[in-house]
Structure 1
Amino acid sequence: MKILVIEDERKLGRFIKQGLEQNGHVADLTHSGSEGLDQLAGGLYDLVLLDLMLPGQTGFEVLKNLRAFGLTVPVMILSALSDPATVVQGLDLGAVDYLRKPFDFDELLARIRILQRRTTTSDNVVLRVADLEMRLISHEVIKDGSSLNLTNREFALLELLLRRAGQLITKNEIAEKVWSADYDMGSNVIEVHIYQLRKKLDASGIAGLIETQVGRGYRLKTP
């Protein structure tokens, strides 16, 4: 999942971001409600982790503005405010979950997995093309019964290609969905990751599965 963390306590924000990335997610971090809304307006996210006591706009105001802008990204509130009225207000404004601080990080990961299962239909819990199989919940990629050892970024890149199998995906789309907001479009990091992913797929006997359309983008070929 690509997750935006909106947390003004910088040390905690960095801790959450690092923990998410170590567990297979792509994470961005902002420190105010206004910055968070700007990020959401310009990027694609699967989940927002939102503090309530933020400078500029509070978490409640962020939730109201998200819905006013027509953005439907799921939001989980992470807050030290734990009175029932505040919890109810957050959920009534559209948050899908509420986790009180301080929290155990394993519990946060478990709640994220629950949300992922809710938003992942039975048709795409497992993605398949040819003999390649991706298991989203367990974060596995299988070829002929053997697991491929992919980095988190390679996994996210392959997931995007599998979900859009047969369709052209531009470099801008890949950067928006798989990389963080500070990605430099002038770099060759996407090309490097495509190269590394190809090597791992080709070593598993899936030669030429990823097709390059020069100057346009990439496409995962279908049988």
Structure 2
Amino acid sequence: MRVLVVDDDLRMAAALRRGLRAEGIVADVARDGDEALRMVRAAEFDAIVLDVMMAGPDGFETCRRLRADRMWAPIIMLTARDSVYDRVKGLDQGADDYLTKPFSLAELLARLRALARRGPVERPVVLQVGKLRLDPATRQAFRGDAEIELTAREFTLLETFMRRPGQVLTQNQLLEAAWDLAYEQRSNVVEVYMWYLRQKIDKPFGVRSLETVRGVGYRLRKDGGG
């Protein structure tokens, strides 16, 4: 495993590097967010250990930039702050895990192993298909620069499609994604909500992004309707 440690506290960074190397992990150190971005562009890492409290771009901003540059190595954030707000902010910027200081090296190693098993899977913070854009953290949807007001159910359905552009989804798959098992009025509810979605994300813009595949289900075009 090759890990990048990003921390402007050089003593802490050196201690982490020694601990990781003692476990047979190849560990490199970046002193700030800018250096981390340069290093990740130049080499492949299996995971990134990213401190939140840094001078210059902090850990949150560094994480956001990494994901914006489509760098998908798993990220675990380290912080002395343990508020729910900080944890949520880090995860919403694209982090995969969060560890509060002080922590044991054994726990960090276990979390790194778990993250490395997932691999660098593409998982953008903001979903985009063509001109359609969806931000699950802020619950906002856009076509181009125009914001689209969606209900919670409509948002969930659109998110389901945008995570699988071009893939045909059956009514059962859509029901499982947006309705719980206790929901009883399931006969034509998907058809109704597909009509709602089309009225909001397609019709006002003169496009057709949601297609019906007869006898199978529905799909979102890979170009998002242009």
Normalized against structure 2, the TM-score is what?
0.51
Aligned mates of 1:65, 1:117 — CA distance in 2:
23
- How many Å apart are 1:116 and its aligned residue? 2.6
Query: What's the counterpart of residue 58 of structure 1?
Result: 58
SS class of match (2:49):
strand
Aligned mates of 1:100, 1:35 — CA distance in 2:
23
Aligned mates of 1:109, 1:67 — CA distance in 2:
23
- How many Å apart are 1:80 and its aligned residue? 0.7
Query: What's the counterpart of residue 10 of structure 2?
Result: 10
Query: What's the counterpart of residue 100 of structure 1?
Result: 100
Question: Structure 2 regions of 5+ residues with no counterpart?
Answer: 121-226
Of the structure 1 ranges 64-73 and 91-100, higher mean CA displacement relative to structure 2 is found in 64-73
Query: What's the counterpart of residue 201 of structure 2?
Result: none
**Partner AA of 2:102 in structure 1:** P
What is the 5 A alignment of 1:102-121? 102-119=102-119
Question: Structure 1 regions of 5+ residues with no counterpart?
Answer: 121-223
Query: What's the counterpart of residue 84 of structure 1?
Result: 84
**What is the number of equivalent residue pairs in this alignment?**
120
Normalized against structure 1, the TM-score is what?
0.52
Contact 2:74 2:119 in 1 (8 A): no
SS class of match (1:70):
coil
Aligned mates of 1:36, 1:47 — CA distance in 2:
12
- How many Å apart are 1:4 and its aligned residue? 0.4
**Partner AA of 2:93 in structure 1:** L
* Per-residue deviation, residues 156-195 of structure 1 (Å, max 9, x unmatched): xxxxxxxxxxxxxxxxxxxxxxxxxxxxxxxxxxxxxxxx
Query: What's the counterpart of residue 175 of structure 2?
Result: none
Q: What's the RMSD between the two structures over aligned residues?
A: 1.3
SS class of match (1:60):
helix
Runs ≥4 residues deviating over 6 A: none
Query: What's the counterpart of residue 170 of structure 1?
Result: none
Query: What's the counterpart of residue 183 of structure 1?
Result: none
Aligned mates of 1:41, 1:113 — CA distance in 2:
22
- How many Å apart are 1:8 and its aligned residue? 1.1
Aligned mates of 1:56, 1:48 — CA distance in 2:
18
Aligned mates of 2:118, 2:34 — CA distance in 1:
28
The structure showing larger relative contact order (alpha-carbon pairs under 8 Å, at least 6 residues apart) is 1
Larger radius of gyration between Structure 1 and Structure 2: 2
